[in-house]
Amino acid sequence: MPRNTTRLRLAGAVAAVLVAAGVATGPAAQASPEQPTLAQLAQRHGRYFGSATDNPELTDTAYTKILGSEFDMITPGNGMKWYATEPQQGVFDWTAGDQIVDLARRNHQRVRAHTLVWHSQLPGWLTSKQWTAAELRAVLKKHITTEVRHYRGKVYSWDVVNEAFNDDGSYRETLWYKTLGPGYIADALRWAHQADPHARLYLNDYNIEATGPKSDAYYALAKDLRARGVPFDGIGFQTHLALQYGYPTTLKENLSRFSGLGLDTALTEVDVRMQLPASDAKLAEQADWYRQLTEACLAVRRCVGITIWDYTDKYSWIPAVFPGEGAALPWDEQLHPKPAYQALREALS
């Protein structure tokens, strides 16, 4: 025993001399510090950096490796929408949503849950029937209450009502609005809060990044909801941008005025599409837009985070909806980072 102790002491002394001389020893000699992830960079500012995802792509292991490491917030692209969660009246299916919540938990990520009340992707049983106001109100309350209770304590926030206004600031003529009137928004927020008092509750829409009629409508609604004590925490700016339409230069100002109401804001579905083919010049402009929108969020204290609408062009929704457009995300179809990725890193650094 004493002989072994002497050897250990001698080895330790030699190692100490080598370290003091600047010579690396053991496994550390091969190690190199890894660069921080987008999430880690955002956390230094008290923000999150997230990505949307969808169930079919979760079998792609190269994809899920990046999804599980670069981001600290996940949004299910489709798995929590009405058609997926209540395909038949009163029959609920949590399979898709649970898969993404479980994936996020394994990766120590939080979940922005999306979405409870929307005019699109509704099941046929809901859209094919003529409802009285009393009937539809009961259906809506049951759906919200059941889904939010199922995910109670498992999600950070809910996009409670999605896309309630037209671009001119008028209410969108949805099933909900036409049957229940504008009061459905406050009711939905109240029911969601009752089902999970700790989840952050958002209204979410596109084309509200710049000041204008649509964002003004949300500002007026937000003031009214706050004045009436309706439980409500934030506005989600989807931020689906396109190079050909110009950058929303009043984004920072717009985020700030909602903060002035005591509300959080978030950039919730970010992508920056372009007319194909992509070029170096377009990719450079895209990178600059990603940098600017990130800097705008960082400059407004209550802008709590950024979520890109999936992180790779491989799984982007853009080409299917906007033919001839695409290349909208910070990683390309081969999962290689694009100039936009480096721009995000620089903005967050």
Q: What pLDDT digit, counting tens, does each position of 216-254 carry?
A: 999 999 999 999 999 999 999 999 999 999 999 999 999
Average pLDDT for 255-276? 98
Please pick, among 163, 209, 333, 346, the residue that the annotation labels catalytic: 163
Residue given tokens 């409802």 in the structure block: 131
Q: Does domain 37-348 have CATH number 1.10.579.10?
A: no
Q: What is the model's pTM?
A: 0.90
pLDDT tens digits, one per residue of 68-80: 999 999 999 999 9
- Residue 163 designated active-site: yes
Helix axes of 280-299 and 339-348: crossing angle, nearest 10 degrees: 20
Q: Is 6 a residue whose pLDDT tops 50?
A: no
Average pLDDT for 11-40? 52
pLDDT tens digits, one per residue of 90-124: 999 999 999 999 999 999 999 999 999 999 999 99
Which of these, 275, 267, 210, lies nearest to 242 by C-alpha position? 275
Q: CA geometry: angle at 276 spanning 270 and 282, to 5°?
A: 65
Residue boundaries of the structural domains of the chain: 1-32, 37-348
Nearest 10 degrees: Cα torsion 271, 85, 215, 166: 100
pLDDT of residue 34: 85
pLDDT of residue 109: 98
- Residue 253 designated active-site: no
Average pLDDT for 317-323? 98
**Distance separating alpha carbons of residues 278 and 269, to the nearest angstrom:** 21
Please pick, among 86, 147, 209, 269, the residue that the annotation labels catalytic: 269
What confidence category does residue 33 fall into, taking pLDDT thresholds of 50, 70 and 90? low
